[in-house]
Amino acid sequence: MELKKWNMQGGQTGTVSVEESVFGLNEDVATESNNLRPVSEQTIIDVVKAQLNNERQGTNNTKTRAEVAGGGRKPFRQKGTGRARQGSIRSPLMPGGGATFGPRPKCYDHRPPKKMVDRAMCGILTDLASEDRIRVVETLSFADGKTKSVNALLKSFQLEKALFVVTEVEETAVRATRNLSNVKIVTPRKVNAVDLLKFCPVYTTTKLNRKPGSKKNQTMEVVRKGGLVITESALKILQSKAAGMFDCEMDDYHPTCTCCHQEAK
């Protein structure tokens, strides 16, 4: 399988060969090979939900009646007031009292199997490749460190949002992209399912139509295009990561990596 190769000016310069087991898990390939089968949507949903749950701090807390201050005496007498009997102002029935079954500190961490995470990554990359949302470039650098260089690159690729993937994040690239909410730059090791779904797919938004002659409060639909902009060297590392093994240049050791296994021997 091959992907188009581009330059930073938005022109096509050639093609890059990639593995079908990562970028080609569609129904057409599955009919030809029994080993390659499409990724189910539920797998991607479970991985995304697990990642979003892992980002929760779980520090929300409410006080019970045992933790609320006050309540040393009976608020009013037992009989003769016409009110319901109360024994403490810390009761959940009283204003300012403790909470019943309120939120408490909780750990929301959920770690799905690594094969499941890699499988979801391959499914998302397959969808992006089939929709032509991947831009493989030779180099991706912003030497001047200016935001207008990033905007010019997005305009040349006709993208509204983008996820930049490079082997090493330079300081000038961080300075050029830190003021943009529609752009994120990461290394292949930091690529995850949530960022791919957030910055890369095509989506439709609704906004007010302010063109001359439009009616008041008339809305219009605008198509927003996102894409994955990745260097050729970072593509190899991302491909090995999605395939279930880390590249030797990365920090983690994985026994299925051929080069690391040879070094270990």
Token output for 109:
């961490």
pTM for this prediction: 0.78
Report DSSP letters for 5-72, one per residue.
Answer: EE-TTS-EEEEEE--HHHH--SHHHHHH-SS--PPPHHHHHHHHHHHHHHT---------TTTSS---
* 176 pLDDT higher than 70: yes
Q: What backbone phi and psi angles, to 5 degrees, belong to 212?
A: -60, 135
Tokens of 213: 């002659």
What pLDDT does residue 34 have?
56
Q: Which two tokens stand for residue 225?
A: 């295009």
pLDDT tens digits, one per residue of 24-75: 887 766 555 556 788 889 999 999 999 999 999 999 999 999 999 987 889 9
The tens digit of pLDDT for each residue in 140-174 reads: 888 888 999 999 999 999 898 999 999 999 999 99
Q: Hey, which bits of 158-252 come out as E strands?
A: 161-165, 183-186, 203-208, 219-224, 226-231
Residue 234: CA atoms inside 13 Å, Cβ hemisphere, count? 25
How far apart are the C-alpha atoms of 261 and 216, rounded to whole Å?
67
Q: What percent of the chain has pLDDT over 90?
A: 51
Mean of the per-residue pLDDT values of the chain: 85
At 207-217, the pLDDT tens digits run 888 888 888 88
Domains of the chain: 2-58+107-264 (3.40.1370.10)
Name, of 24-38, 226-240, 242-256, the range with top average pLDDT: 226-240
